[in-house]
Structure 1
């Protein structure tokens, strides 16, 4: 692939959202709550909350606001009652405290030798900065939903990357563990690379091993670096 920049989905592709949210939930909610089930219940509200923005039912707000709004329903689903505002705030910040997959930092470090790197995530700017500082993610800049004022898979998010990087869309590659994200990027002319993350949802369901429509399918970011000659 003749690309000059790689942009990355973050939740599930670069960081392990499920383990991180469950870890913080266990700390903040105590042993009476199934922390993994809570993480899954909260994540299940991720897409519906963004769809209300995409569909024009409400103006764009950063992901932290959507997470805060969906928190009471997620707590109720796992039998937890309302929590004080300070605990709710700390739970929202769980999404700022996720750890990278073990291959992420080594792979990104290798890739940065040849390519401009940026997240192209539905996470807000401060969230992405916090993840980078916590995990040592070597981004060159931050792109994504809050920069574009839209949530993926709205085309404006994908279009913003080549525009801001001053590259043709074909020279920007989206790297993601989600085939729907990659399909939306291809529809806007971006190159795509699929990363298999079998443990993203705790092993159930297991995502497909490859994306036959992607330019590359790999099992890690280190494998991606090797495939791109880094």
Structure 2
């Protein structure tokens, strides 16, 4: 794959650009401590992962804040401890507080010099606005779960890409998808025939964390451990074209 062959990049946000595991654990960990549960952050994320995915399947038109609250309650049921409305609401409202990965903003600014940037995210518009303030770039197109009334790995986000690309006057073959989640992104990207790059943010940690293990076929064309490494490779590829 030559990264210079593409004019637009579509990104997953949470897990790729924003550290959603840190954001979720920042609420789940004090709840677990209050409830007397002796569980690590990894234990809590593993218990949580499938509950969020199931809540998204069950209520595809719900705002992400409601999905988070629902997933938290389901996680409490799984662990045998009820989640109060106050705790559920706290997780639901926490998206704007989730930190960006340290390299995300600089990487995006670098990539914006050579590519159109598109967000393809399982979130509501209000939540993404809070996260975008941490990322510091103006995306050329933003597609959220609130816009398409579904959550990845459902096809709706990727179906909506056709219209976004038409508006940006970018041919589909010049689009590259960039994401951390094999489950949420690389499975549907493969179904839609899109080349993709895996940002393997958990490269130094075992297990799946807050993301369910993929049960459907997936693929990716390149793998990088960070956005910084990907942005550097993309910049070098684009500059090589001018030599």
Q: Do both proteins adopt the same fold according to a TM-score greater than 0.5, normalized to the shorter chain?
A: yes
Tell me the alpha carbon deviations over residues 127-165 of structure 1, each in whole angstroms, 9 at most, x when there is no partner: 1111122x2342414213222222222223112123123
**1:70 equivalent in alignment to 2:74:** no
Residue 24 of structure 2 corresponds to which residue in structure 1? 21
- Cα distance between partner residues in 2 of 1:227 and 1:162: 26
Residue 145 of structure 1 corresponds to which residue in structure 2? 145
Q: CA deviation at 1:109?
A: 1.5
Q: Is the CA contact (8 Å cut-off) linking 1:175 and 1:193 kept in structure 2?
A: yes
**1:136 equivalent in alignment to 2:140:** no
Q: Is the CA contact (8 Å cut-off) linking 1:38 and 1:78 kept in structure 2?
A: no
**1:44 equivalent in alignment to 2:44:** no
Residue 189 of structure 1 corresponds to which residue in structure 2? 193
5+ unaligned residues in a row in structure 1: which ranges?
Answer: 54-58
Q: Is the CA contact (8 Å cut-off) linking 2:64 and 2:92 kept in structure 1?
A: no
5+ unaligned residues in a row in structure 2: which ranges?
Answer: 237-243
**1:171 equivalent in alignment to 2:165:** no
Tell me the alpha carbon deviations over residues 206-227 of structure 1, each in whole angstroms, 9 at most, x when there is no partner: 89xxxx9433222211111122
SS at match of 1:143: strand
Tell me the alpha carbon deviations over residues 36-91 of structure 1, each in whole angstroms, 9 at most, x when there is no partner: 244432332121122235xxxxx6222222222232221243454342x3442122
Residue 241 of structure 2 corresponds to which residue in structure 1? none
Residue 127 of structure 2 corresponds to which residue in structure 1? 127
- Cα distance between partner residues in 1 of 2:127 and 2:51: 18
Higher helix share: 2
- Structure 1 residues 7 and 116 mapped into 2: Cα distance closer, same or farther (>3 Å)? same
SS at match of 2:228: helix
SS at match of 1:51: helix
TM-score by length of 2: 0.76
Q: Quote the RMSD (CA, aligned, Å).
A: 2.8
